[in-house]
Amino acid sequence: MALVEHMIEMKHYAANIVFTCGAYVLAVGINVTHQVVLTNSDGETLASSNEKFAQYLLKMLEVYFNYHHDAYSTKVVYLHDPTAMLAAINPSLITYVEGAIRVQTNGITRGLTLLYNKQKRFAEITEWSDQPSVNVAVTVDTPTALKLVMERLME
Q: Which of 56, 75, 81 is nearest to 154 (CA)?
A: 56
Contacts of 16 (CB under 8 A, 6+ apart): 102, 103, 105
Q: Give strand ranges (E) for the chain.
A: 26-27, 37-39, 76-78, 94-103, 113-117, 134-140
Distance CA 15, CA 19 (A): 6
- Which amino acid is located at 53 in the chain? F
Please confirm, yes or no, whether 80 is among the known catalytic residues: yes
How far apart, in Å, do the first and last CA atoms of the chain sit? 48
Catalytic residue among 6, 12, 69, 80: 80
The residues annotated with a catalytic role in the active site are 80
